[in-house]
């Protein structure tokens, strides 16, 4: 039976949990088809492979959530504030380099970076709550 086709998403529960359930059902369906056609187990269906798939899906979900949060914050702060964050937090450049490039005081670069990081963290919390994601899965 194709479990994926019969699965119903419950919006009152965690989106991350829903995604894991969908992945498990897809994995199970694929394994059933494989066993029927080929017969027997295969290394691609090992517990480790399933755990790896789940970890990769989690990482992709987290990355997408971060991207959405960053875009929302980018639209709410001054371009130079976000650029100070991007240069230092994402590109890993020294604050002094970012300050020179943006014609800002070094202290202001640190403040901008910290402010944007806090806003992104809050945005991720808000997005997680609105999707029913508890972060646990």
Is 6 part of a structural domain of the chain? no
* pLDDT tens column, 75-112: 999 999 999 999 999 999 999 999 999 999 999 999 99
pLDDT at residue number 23? 73
Spatial contact of 3 and 24, defined as CB atoms under 8 Å apart: no
Do 133 and 12 contact (CB within 8 A), yes or no? Answer: no
Q: Is residue 120 part of a domain?
A: yes
| Residues composing the chain | 137
Domain count, the chain: 1
Query: What's the whole-model pTM score?
Result: 0.63
Domain range for 98 is 11-130
Residue 40 is assigned to a structural domain of this protein:
yes
Asked if 109 and 84 touch (Cβ cutoff 8 Å), the reply is yes
The dihedrals phi and psi of 46, each to the nearest 5 degrees, come to: -70, 165
Each residue of 1-38: pLDDT tens digit?
445 456 565 666 666 777 777 777 776 777 776 655 44
31 within some domain: yes
């Amino acid at each position: 039976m194709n479990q994926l086709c019969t699965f119903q998403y419950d919006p009152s529960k965690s989106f991350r949990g829903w995604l894991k359930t969908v992945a498990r059902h897809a994995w199970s369906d694929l394994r059933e088809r494989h066993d029927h056609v080929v017969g027997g187990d295969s290394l691609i269906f090992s517990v480790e492979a399933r755990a790896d798939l789940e970890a990769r899906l989690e990482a992709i979900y987290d990355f997408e959530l971060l991207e959405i949060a960053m875009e929302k914050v980018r639209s709410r702060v001054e371009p130079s504030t976000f650029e100070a964050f991007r240069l230092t937090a994402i590109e890993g450049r020294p604050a002094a380099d970012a300050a020179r490039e943006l014609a800002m005081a070094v202290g202001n670069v640190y403040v901008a970076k910290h402010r944007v990081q806090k806003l992104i963290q809050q945005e991720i919390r808000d997005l997680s709550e609105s999707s029913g994601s508890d972060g646990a899965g």
